[in-house]
Amino acid sequence: MKGGQSTLEGQVAIVTGGSRGIGLATAHVLARQGARVALIARGRLPLAEAAAQLGDAALAVPADISDPDAVRVAFERIQCELGRLDILINNAALSRLHTIEQARDEDILATVGSNFLGPVYCVRAAVPLMRATGGGQIVNISSEAVTRPFPYLSLYVATKGALEALSLALREELKPDGIRVTLLRTGATSSDGFTREWDPRVAEEAMRVWKERGLLDFGGQPMSTEVVAEAILHALTRPAGASIDFLDLRPG
């Protein structure tokens, strides 16, 4: 199996949601290990600023991963400019607070599109590129929310649960191609990306409900995004013959 080496020198990685939070922290860690990193995100300006931090190691690729055509174009560009693909980090996700009854069509489409269909489209585009280089590694990032019955986040929780089930199936499906699949379930982090699309009024209501039901005890202070990025690196640099299928990382 290719990959799983002490450094990532010469490898090419794609990080979705790479302009902030866990995605940007991961891009920095991968670049320090010698990888070239393609950052995918929707916002052009934050993406350009993130890529500038990494310098020549980064390629900014603006794209909405919920759009299958946009994913095709993005991966074709990455293949053309960077020549190969070894690592895919499916990190991009969004959360919007609402009960199912209150969910607008656009909320449902955006959440399912970003959190589940986007990773599906990205894996579909990545597999032939990884197979062409003899294998690769996929890391799908989930959330400890799948283990907690959060009202107002039921759709987010459902999409992360679907991503976890997909990871299980992909692990077996892609094994003959030398492609390792790791699922990272992460707890609360210090990044504000998770809450950036929350309506303050609905957030206040949700917080009251979560507090009443004892759902806000996360077992410690939120983790830094760098800690999560180091866990991803740990999975990526296991030697051939040693695969980390599942990592559960939480404050403690």
pLDDT in tens, 144-155: 999 988 999 999
**Which pLDDT band, with edges at 50, 70 and 90, does 7 fall under?**
confident
**Stated pTM of the model:** 0.94
Q: Please, what is the angle between helix 154-174 and helix 118-132, to 10°?
A: 20
Is the CB of residue 113 less than 8 Å from the CB of residue 66?
Answer: yes
What residue has token string 């300006």?
A: 45
Q: How far apart are the first and last CA of the chain?
A: 34
CA distances from 57 to 7, 10, 79, 205, 243 (A): 15, 11, 15, 43, 26
Domain 12-249 has CATH 3.40.50.720: yes
Question: How many Å apart are CA 140 and CA 216, to the nearest integer?
Answer: 24
∠ CA(220), CA(16), CA(242), 5° rounding? Answer: 70
pLDDT in tens, 48-84: 999 999 999 999 999 999 999 999 999 999 999 999 9
- Active-site residue, 156 included: yes
Residue 1 pLDDT more than 60?
no
Tokens found for residue 90: 């499916």
Q: Average per-residue pLDDT in the chain? A: 93
Question: How many Å apart are CA 250 and CA 218, to the nearest integer?
Answer: 8
**Which pLDDT band, with edges at 50, 70 and 90, does 238 fall under?**
very high
What number of H helices and E strands is found in the chain? 8, 7
CA atoms within 13 A on the CB side of 54: 29
Q: What per-residue confidence (pLDDT) applies to 219?
A: 67
pLDDT in tens, 157-198: 999 999 999 999 999 999 999 999 999 999 888 776 778 888
118-126 average pLDDT score: 98
Residue 4 pLDDT more than 50?
no
Any idea where the domains of the chain sit in the sequence? 12-249
Q: Which of 156, 181, 231, 233 is catalytic?
A: 156
